[in-house]
Amino acid sequence: MVRFWFPLALLAGSCANEANAQSIRELNGHRAAVYAVAVRPDGEQMASASFDRTIGIWNTQTGRIVKTFAGHRDKVLALAYSADGSQLASAGLDGTIRLWDAATGEVRARLTGRNGCVQGISFLPDGRRLIACGEAGVAEIWKMAEGVVERTIRIEPEGMPLYAVAASPDGKSIALAGLDGRIRLYHPSTGRLQRAFEGHDGAVYSLSFSPDGESLLSGSIDRTLRRWRVADGKPIHCLDGHKGAIYQAAFNPDGRRMVSAGTDGEVIVWDSGNGSVLHRHRFPCKTLCTAFTPDGRHIAAGGGKSAFYLMDLPRHVR
């Protein structure tokens, strides 16, 4: 039996239209909660993963849906674009990882590993390998061309569910985190543990490396956003501006800003240097995912019901 480690109660409540239509656009296309978002590296399109089992592809400029990728048999929980933007990977509750041609929507591969429910996926920088983690508590590195698992990384304690994965920009480290709140850094080629980061008091749902690879961002059910120094695992910031669990957090393209989405409905933009709050907005529903566009001028956010938004940032925040 598959267990849900994200609270389904988060999806309750209505999502009214946002009043400030000039700076925030509500994007309509899904029929259920939006749980993950990814922006194509060129910034022209973005993808949203929904509990309605579909993936929406949106024009970032117009906010219109241009394609819908369908094929998953259950809720879609994770998305990742390859570095060149040609491939989009998705995964979810049906236990499959699907590799899509980002331009046409053709399914290039359908992979089934040992995880059951897959909640985290990330391409390695070479674009030829993908790492996935999930319910079973293992991380699998897939060779995409062959459709085979190159390496399996097993976590201690055995069987602990994993919710988040991120690959470093240089491809020399993989960060994994899950139910116990501990963040582990592994070498992808050897599978050896490099170091562990301790501090969260609850499950970690989001991991993101800074563009220079020197720091790691984590968001947790303990309501804190933490930034770590990768070289030694020491904390840089512990930020507690949210009143609900943080389900996704990310850096902007130059690493000077961070964004976090919380179940309190708030999306907060932070200064990476001093940890101060630069901008915050409360949406009319729980927010479960967020991402910057590559130009740093916009933020996509999704959440409860079928809510999906594109928000323009004030000039001083960009």
- Residue 19: per-residue pLDDT: 35
List pLDDT tens digits, range 122-131.
999 999 999 9
Q: Is the pLDDT reported for residue 9 higher than 70?
A: no
List pLDDT tens digits, range 221-239.
999 999 999 999 999 999 9
What does 189-232 look like in DSSP terms, one character per residue?
Answer: TT--EEEEE---SS-EEEEEE-TTSSEEEEEETTS-EEEEETTT
In this structure, how many other beta carbons lie within 10 angstroms of the beta carbon of residue 105? 15
List pLDDT tens digits, range 181-206.
999 999 999 999 999 999 999 999 99
Across 93-101, average pLDDT: 97
- The letter for the amino acid at 181 is G
Calpha distance 202→223 (Å, rounded): 9
At 37, which helix (H) or strand (E)? strand 34-39
Residue where the block lists tokens 């907060």: 268
Calpha distance 155→173 (Å, rounded): 15
Calpha distance 70→26 (Å, rounded): 22
List pLDDT tens digits, range 15-34.
433 334 348 999 999 999 99
Q: Please return the burial class of 72, using the count of CB atoms within 10 Å of its CB with bins 0-12, 13-18 and 19+.
A: buried
Predicted confidence band of residue 13 (pLDDT cuts 50, 70, 90): very low
Q: Is the pLDDT reported for residue 44 higher than 80?
A: yes
Domains of the chain: 20-317 (2.130.10.10)
What percentage of the chain has pLDDT greater than the value 70?
93
- Residue 20: per-residue pLDDT: 41
The DSSP bridge pattern shows strands 138-143 and 129-134 to be antiparallel
Calpha distance 28→98 (Å, rounded): 24
Across 143-156, average pLDDT: 93
- Residue 6: per-residue pLDDT: 43
Predicted confidence band of residue 12 (pLDDT cuts 50, 70, 90): very low
Per-residue CA distances from 275 to 238, 256, 271 (Å): 8, 10, 5
Calpha distance 122→316 (Å, rounded): 31
Q: Which residues, 6+ apart, have CB-to-CB distance to 100 below 8 Å?
A: 55, 69, 87, 88, 89, 90, 106, 107, 108
Q: Is the pLDDT reported for residue 108 higher than 50?
A: yes
Average pLDDT over the chain reads 92
- The letter for the amino acid at 168 is S
List pLDDT tens digits, range 68-88.
999 999 999 999 999 999 999
Long-range contacts of 238-242 (CB under 8 A, 24+ apart): 238/199, 239/270, 239/275, 241/266, 241/268, 241/270, 241/277, 241/280, 242/266, 242/268
| CB of 264 closer than 8 Å to CB of 304 | no
Across 143-164, average pLDDT: 93
Where is pLDDT greater, at 4 or 294?
294
What percentage of the chain has pLDDT greater than the value 90?
88
